[in-house]
Amino acid sequence: MLELLRATCCRPLLAANTSAAAVFRIIEAAAPSLLIDEADSFLATSEELRGILNAGFEANGRVLRVEEAQGALHPRVFRCFAPVALAGIGRMPGTLEDRSIPIVLQRAEEASRARLTKLRAPGARDALETLVE
């Protein structure tokens, strides 16, 4: 699913296991569509990252941090509003689910698997580019 989104969304940035600081800084610098994989492995234990993703749900979402520059501390405001896709096994934390459109993937039935092309097959990812045209 993330590969499909990567081929079709604006300024996609695919990452697995990311930090809160990296998220708000990359949003400020590049305004990407964040595609975060393996969210089940780290999101439940990162309250800071969940808070940033929660705040980034609205256009006025901001994060305030203090940075050192030339020996002095200065407050800085970072935007955290961005389109985000989270991929993981199981459910996401409740506050994120409330702000989400869930897409639940299921394994294909045995009878239909022979007709499917896996994204790992040669040329399969290139075929996604035709969706953009």
Name the pTM for this structure. 0.80
2-48, pLDDT tens digit by residue?
Answer: 888 888 889 999 998 889 999 999 999 999 999 999 988 888 889 99
Helix, strand, or coil (residue 94): helix
> What is the reported pLDDT for 21?
93
How many CB atoms lie under 10 A from the CB of residue 49? 20
pLDDT in tens, 54-79: 999 999 999 999 999 999 999 999 99
Q: Which strand ranges, in their side-by-side order, compose the sheet holding 84-86? A: 12-16, 33-37, 84-86
What does the domain layout of the chain look like in residue ranges?
A: 2-108
Who contacts 75 (Cβ-Cβ below 8 Å, separation ≥6)?
64, 65, 66
Q: What is the dihedral of CA 27, 28, 29, 34, to 10 degrees?
A: 0
